[in-house]
């Protein structure tokens, strides 16, 4: 059976850190239009902290420990709302993976479902409110469909990246009703959400780490 190995999850974290470093100014530019102008630098700092603990994380006995360690690090090192939200995603994703040294597509779906549930509970956001949920919720729906159809992991990851990009771009024309951007009212329309953008980068990093 095709699976995702722990070593590939480590590569995912490393590639995500690289993407955050490469895109920190772009993410911060997006955030300067509708937020606090710090999203890119916060995300870079958070994932750099994860990489600083990578040797420790490599000793994780299962995927649950790996993702839990990642989530705890993000919560403690990313400022603003992003730390709790991204940290919660990884923490909740880890909850259903205890004992899993490899992940099937079903495992990945279950972990992302739980991660999404945690983020929605923490952020009190729903689809269409110009947040990272506009990427994560369609991605989870795509994983459910891919699992039902019996697609390969690579096919499923290809699908979620496409869905994530569509979700990210859909935020441009949305009116923000959650978070800092909601204070702008109609002026938030016309700007791509930085959280949706960083979420998309994380998913692209996952796909590239498995192929």
pLDDT tens per residue, range 116-174: 999 999 988 999 999 999 999 999 999 999 999 999 999 999 999 999 999 999 999 99
Angle of the 82-94 helix axis to the 105-123 helix axis, nearest 10: 140
Would you state the pLDDT for residue 1?
62
Which pLDDT score is estimated for 80? Answer: 77
Query: Among residues of the chain, what percentage have pLDDT more than 70?
Result: 97
By the 10 Å C-beta count (0-12 exposed, 13-18 middle, 19+ buried), 95 is classed as: middle
Tell me the helices (H) and strands (E) count for the chain, helix number first.
Answer: 10, 2
pLDDT, mean of residues 62-72: 97
> What pLDDT is stored for residue 179 in this prediction?
72
pLDDT of 190: 87
Task: Give the C-alpha separation, 84 to 125, whole Å.
Answer: 14
23: tokens are 């895109």
pLDDT of residue 130: 94
Using the predicted structure, report yes or no on whether residue 182 has a pLDDT greater than 70: no
The reported pLDDT for the residue numbered 134 is 97
Which of 148-152's residues contact partners 24+ apart within 8 Å by CB, and which partners?
151/105, 152/2, 152/105
CA distance 66 to 6: 8
Question: Is the model's pLDDT at 98 over the cut of 90?
Answer: yes
Q: Is 102 a residue whose pLDDT tops 90?
A: yes
Domains of the chain: 4-210 (1.25.40.340)
C-alpha distance from residue 167 to each of 44, 45, 95, 160, 193 (Å): 22, 25, 26, 10, 10
Q: How far apart are CA 70 and CA 84, in angstroms?
A: 12
**What is the C-alpha to C-alpha distance for residues 109 and 54, in angstroms, rounded to an integer?**
24
Contact 123, 81 (CB under 8 A): yes
Q: How far apart are CA 58 and CA 133, in angstroms?
A: 29
Check pLDDT > 70 for residue 83.
yes
Strand pairing class (102-103; 4-5)? antiparallel
C-alpha count within 13 angstroms, C-beta hemisphere, residue 195: 28
> What's the pTM?
0.95
Q: What pLDDT was estimated at residue 110?
A: 98
Name which of 100, 121, 140, 130 is nearest 9 in CA terms: 100
Query: How far is 62 from 121, CA to CA, in rounded Å?
Result: 26
């Amino acid at each position: 059976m095709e699976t995702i190995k722990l070593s590939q999850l480590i590569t995912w974290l490393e590639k995500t850190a690289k993407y955050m470093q490469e895109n920190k100014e772009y993410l911060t530019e997006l955030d300067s239009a509708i937020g606090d102008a710090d999203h890119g630098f916060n995300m870079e700092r958070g994932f750099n902290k994860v990489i600083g603990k990578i040797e420790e994380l490599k000793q994780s006995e299962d995927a649950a420990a790996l993702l839990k360690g990642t989530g705890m690090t993000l919560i403690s090192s990313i400022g603003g709302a992003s730390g709790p939200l991204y940290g919660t995603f990884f923490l909740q994703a880890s909850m259903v993976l205890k004992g899993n040294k490899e992940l099937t597509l079903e495992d990945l779906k279950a972990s992302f479902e739980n991660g999404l549930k945690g983020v929605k509970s923490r952020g009190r956001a729903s689809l269409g409110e110009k947040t990272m949920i506009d990427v994560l919720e369609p991605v989870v729906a795509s994983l459910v469909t891919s699992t039902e159809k019996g697609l390969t992991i690579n096919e499923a990851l290809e699908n979620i990246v496409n869905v994530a990009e569509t979700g990210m771009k859909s935020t441009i024309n949305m009116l923000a009703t959650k978070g800092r951007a909601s204070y702008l009212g109609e002026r938030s329309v016309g700007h791509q959400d930085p959280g949706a953008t960083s979420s998309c980068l994380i998913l692209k990093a996952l796909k590239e780490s498995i192929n």
